[in-house]
A and B are shown apart, each in its own frame.
Chain A
Amino acid sequence: MSAVETTYREALRQALIDAMEQDPDIVVMGEEVGLYGGAYGVTKGMLEMFGPERILDTPISEPGFVGAAVGAAMSGLRPVVELMYVDFVGLVMDQLANQAAKIRYMFGGQIGVPMVLRSQGGTGRSAAAQHSQSLEAWMAHIPGLRVAMPATINDAYHLLRHALTLPDPVVFLEHKGLYTQKGMLDVSKPDGPWGKALVRRPGNDVTIVAYSKMVQESLIAADMLAAEGISAEVIDLRTLNPLDDATLVQSVRRTHRAIVVTEAHQTGGFSAELSARLHELCFDHLEEPVVRVAGEDIPIPVSPALERGSVPNAQLIAETGLWLVKRQAPGWAAE
């Protein structure tokens, strides 16, 4: 089959439909996934296609239905739970981190929890402090959970399809700013295998590591840098667990410089993990310290300009790259 143009939202929906057609044990559950079609429209029309036995609208009882998904996953079903906003993960962290993530291990390998928790995060809608966060670090910190964060339309489809074949719990994090974006989907051809980071743009002078929406900002930044004569390599992590540090290391040993970009807060964020690994594994190859360009360490403000100012953008990534590679200080550089 050849590639077709579609949206991130449609690709996710298609992945769910194709997987459900193949695997009768998959059920979708969550708030507004049925009649409403999903808060961001990912499950639109699926209630009609699969019926209320497989598309379950839940009450607003997150710990209850996520816990029920864990039990169902232990008992023959493969639930896909939609958590409407990743910010609500605070409510279900016990079921995810203490239960789903640990059941296989605590019980000596007797049983797994094959479920997918889909959610979405990020800024861009003036949705304020409780509906705009990027909380992947919370989950990436927990052994036993896989974490995927697709940046492209093709990955939205294929990573979700793959997640729905895995024996262990997967946290699948989408970005609210990507749903309506268009791109090519080839259902017969994944961008790459699950667990492998991909070079989205090759380059020689600096490596930019990102995932989810920040891949796009990084690609724009690479264009800006190219105009300044700097060749930036952009790597899309795709999954945070498994974490493919080999691809990063290979790149950074060649470029000798790296910028790690996340929308999430800097302090204690996944950018810190990436930076640490690069320092550890590329120490003798680095010309400069690995630099993190991350979200400010503040709650997300509602006012649009403040919201935009609280997270990185292409401009900031490019300015950092220019400074790092060419020692050209940006306007905001402290004296």
Chain B
Amino acid sequence: MNCPIEHPESAGLLLDYCGRKLAPDTTAMLERHMGSCARCQAFRDGQMALWRSLDAWESMPVSAGFDRRLYGRLHGPHGDGPRTSWWSRFFGSPLSGPAFLQPAVPLALACVIVLAGLLVNDRPDGAVAGAPRDAVEAEQVETVLEDFDMLSQLRWQPRDATGAASRYTPFEAMPEARS
């Protein structure tokens, strides 16, 4: 093959090689060339070292009040920001699935269930079918916490192109922005 360094039109080839983005056959062809081309070898070693150096510049944390400031500006005197209705708070985006399955809301639901359980157990007769009150409470709390744990780890996957029903999927499996 022609040496990519000497041909500007194939300038991206060596970068893609260093980024491991080339197809296996192109990779093999380039590696054969590199075996006898000191310039391409030097490029590869230098580029890999450069990327390691650039990795030192990590991302910084985003200020805690960023969203509050943004929504403040959107809703400000001249703003026409997105009005968050009770409907969208509860159901979220049509593509994201119900908002009530996102982490904060299950916590509230869990609290309601625990409270309801305590109220039921506070009946005047104090009877809870065949189990001591403390044991039942502990079991309820444990179950609720387990449910909460499970719910907080799950997200809805968006509807597919045919509009088929959504299904649960881990957050990491959601579609990426770039292909």
A and B bound?
Answer: no
